[in-house]
Structure 1
């Protein structure tokens, strides 16, 4: 018996088959003919070899006949973690990608986000984005909502109702917005952020938490940034924002905050760079700024589809990892045109290859490394790796049951392959049709209940 097993826990479910996940030491660890037990709290009670079935069933008190057996063309992998997605931009995803970032925000984003004061509209969009991301295997999402408190609370409720693990942020912005009816005063932003946090925490959703969300340094005064830093510190909350997405933005931030050495320094000065901070993009961060991220324990969300779609820049992930900065992947809907984290996996590798084309000395990322970024890396970036990210005993069972031979699916099952090859094919070719079941904290959330 491994000391990490938890025989005192009542077992709700046991699965047998191939499991693939990441550890800190191994980008892809393959466990063939493994047994994984989930307790009644949705946590992993044991993960052991199939041949130990008899002993395990006695120790944990389950019947071997109740074990769920996976087929040869199936495997379990950890749920995908989307570290950056704008839920309120989902209605126009796949369109409006003909401008650079700042024009795109004024022309498309702010007018659409202003509609979220209408709660019926918000409910329709938010229900669609949560169900779509879950079907695509996103078990954890870090959401930007809009500036509207009640609609943001509604997003939290919808994520909870669907069973998705989520960080939800009411967006804060009190300056520099050409759309007059879509901004707040400094006081409104503070008051409504506090109301949002208090109300969401009061609801005690088991998997949904608030995240303090200054949109970015361009849309917040220094005063508001500082106040949001204090709010986050008081309740030890997560923080999310954007940083160094495109060069024009970096230039304007420098002009707006001349007393700061860098874009990163702006957030640092306002107590917004903590070990619970995740900043999206970071395409143009200097090595010195990455050192600050490492020192403070702050994370980056790599959003390759959006970086390319809005022509913002190419993040050198290899350099970020070299600086030992925590990094996850994000879809960045709707700057990114796909709500699927499988797309984020593919574009991450594409970006890495483009950097190699530009500089043959650049070491491209392997599919194994990118798999880790999309799962364990994302959970670390969101400071949730004590709860999710891989199949360690004691963590919540957040998992995808993948069937690479799904009828009518995008992949052809020609012959039995080694598990790693099957995983690589799924990451490169698969879609939601291959995701037979999705589990969050031990609960089956996909297929949806009628």
Structure 2
């Protein structure tokens, strides 16, 4: 790791980098859903606040010093030069739009359970145990380190129902420099008696405590944003969801929850809320929780009518292909969602998902889309997702889902430098292997990127920055 430390006390403020920086080398990012832009032998200037202020093509170190620095009026002794080596490129940081920080110790432990059985067997006991702050610190510190090491610069985290543990997660993200949305989980029914809010007013009050804590540490929400988090409709009573919907309206804060992940879950929602609409989506809409700032995880079994409602409300979807496969929930139709005009990002959904890597989620999104194409009579060839498209979902798409498309997801002037340096080492028989991606030297850049998507892992992630601050470095 790089210079990351995790305090036991709360952190009072973010720490922007002290110096301006110029990055030199190859830069790759999504220009559109289907197109990657490649900038070779270029320079990107990032000021001390972490904002990109210039993108200069055909610029090497000498030209950067002789031309770019004077144009920016930056003294050379107060500017760091970061130069990519051969085979390396800069890429936007990944955005994980759905994961449970509190479930990280259970990655891979889903057995043969269905969703509801899995919650009672694995999830609720672990989450409840994190009321122990030393245990919570151990878990949260690790999940932040792990996601950063895989290039995740922004994460939409679910914590637990415990206020101090949720606040600790916010403190640790702030200290580590990871951009995050932090949500205290709200639930007053369905779960075990030892892990429930006793009544709606208590859940609302505790949620406000966590919101106040985040805003006291990061008032402008430059790095950490509180997010209203009803676990999912079956775990929340109608009065609780009404209160949370009103809170979302009053604060204009984002909302995150689950929808239509599992067919049994959908049937349960229908039985619990017979008077709150004709569908799962309508239940959320009835209580004011289907907003332009709402992140709906999964959306595997949405109906046409539900998708149209989500489109109308401008809510967003987090696609979690690893989790949907692992828990046998189903295959979300991403092309169909995109065609409906719904913004889609990727989520690891640990611990339903087994990996902290958004790159893993991207490759599985490709594979799931191909399985959809194999469902004869129900799909078309165009349902397949390309490498370019899933990288868009992992960056710009995710930025739209978390409501930060004006700040992150791309490498353009005015955006913040949330980026990773990726290394694809060329094969040399006399050297040790450096990761799982074998590059032989004759591949095009498009082919190298495809190899990275299908074979890459954290060994390829050499450095990671958030708002211009180095937050991870692989030694």
Q: Which residue of 2 aligns with 1:69?
A: 83
| SS of the residue 1:355 aligns to | helix
Match of 1:217 among 204, 213, 233: 233
Q: Which residue of 1 aligns with 2:417?
A: 397
* CA deviation string 1:166-194 (max 9, x = no partner): 001000000122x2201012221111011
| SS of the residue 1:76 aligns to | strand
Match of 2:374 among 357, 369, 372: 357
Match of 2:265 among 249, 252, 256: 249
Q: Which residue of 2 aligns with 1:258?
A: 274
Range with greater deviation from structure 2 (414-423 or 278-287):
414-423
1:112 aligns with 2:126: yes
Q: 1 CA distance for matches of 2:222 and 2:412?
A: 20
Q: 2 CA distance for matches of 1:27 and 1:389?
A: 14
Q: CA deviation at 1:448?
A: 7.8
Match of 2:468 among 410, 435, 442: 442
Match of 1:184 among 197, 208, 223: 197
Aligned ranges for residues 181-330 of structure 1 at < 5 Å? 181-185=194-198, 186-204=200-218, 206-259=222-275, 260-330=277-347
Task: Please give the TM-score of this superposition, normalised by the length of structure 2.
Answer: 0.89
Range with greater deviation from structure 2 (190-199 or 81-90):
190-199
Q: 1 CA distance for matches of 2:317 and 2:34?
A: 21
Q: 2 CA distance for matches of 1:28 and 1:448?
A: 26
| SS of the residue 1:427 aligns to | helix
Q: 2 CA distance for matches of 1:210 and 1:413?
A: 42
Q: CA deviation at 1:332?
A: 0.3
Q: CA deviation at 1:72?
A: 2.6
Q: Check conservation: 1:72, 1:416, Cα contact below 8 A.
A: no
Q: CA deviation at 1:258?
A: 1.4
Aligned ranges for residues 60-99 of structure 1 at < 5 Å? 60-62=72-74, 63=76, 67-99=81-113
Q: 2 CA distance for matches of 1:92 and 1:257?
A: 31
Q: Check conservation: 2:33, 2:389, Cα contact below 8 A.
A: no
* CA deviation string 1:259-291 (max 9, x = no partner): 212111111111111111101000000122111
Match of 1:419 among 445, 448, 452: 445
Q: How many corresponding residue pairs?
A: 439
Q: CA deviation at 1:328?
A: 0.2
Q: 2 CA distance for matches of 1:334 and 1:352?
A: 22
Q: Check conservation: 2:87, 2:423, Cα contact below 8 A.
A: yes
Q: Check conservation: 1:73, 1:416, Cα contact below 8 A.
A: no
| SS of the residue 1:397 aligns to | coil
Q: Which residue of 1 aligns with 2:69?
A: 57
| SS of the residue 1:122 aligns to | helix
Q: CA deviation at 1:416?
A: 4.8
Q: 1 CA distance for matches of 2:442 and 2:52?
A: 28
Q: Check conservation: 1:76, 1:402, Cα contact below 8 A.
A: yes
Q: Which residue of 1 aligns with 2:11?
A: none
Match of 1:14 among 18, 22, 39: 22
Task: Please give the TM-score of this superposition, normalised by the length of structure 1.
Answer: 0.94
Q: Which runs of 5+ in 1 are unaligned?
A: 1-9
Q: 2 CA distance for matches of 1:106 and 1:310?
A: 14
Q: Check conservation: 1:11, 1:37, Cα contact below 8 A.
A: no
Q: Which residue of 2 aligns with 1:408?
A: 434
Q: Which runs of 5+ in 2 are unaligned?
A: 1-17, 427-432
Q: Which residue of 2 aligns with 1:174?
A: 188
Q: 2 CA distance for matches of 1:226 and 1:258?
A: 15
Q: Check conservation: 1:290, 1:323, Cα contact below 8 A.
A: yes
Range with greater deviation from structure 2 (295-304 or 15-24):
15-24
* CA deviation string 1:287-339 (max 9, x = no partner): 22111111111100000011010000110000000001011000000000111
Q: Check conservation: 1:18, 1:419, Cα contact below 8 A.
A: no
Q: 2 CA distance for matches of 1:66 and 1:211?
A: 35
Give the aligned CA root-mean-square deviation in angstroms: 1.8
| SS of the residue 1:23 aligns to | strand
Q: Check conservation: 1:144, 1:171, Cα contact below 8 A.
A: yes
Match of 2:157 among 143, 148, 168: 143
* CA deviation string 1:366-405 (max 9, x = no partner): 1000000001100101101111011121111000100111
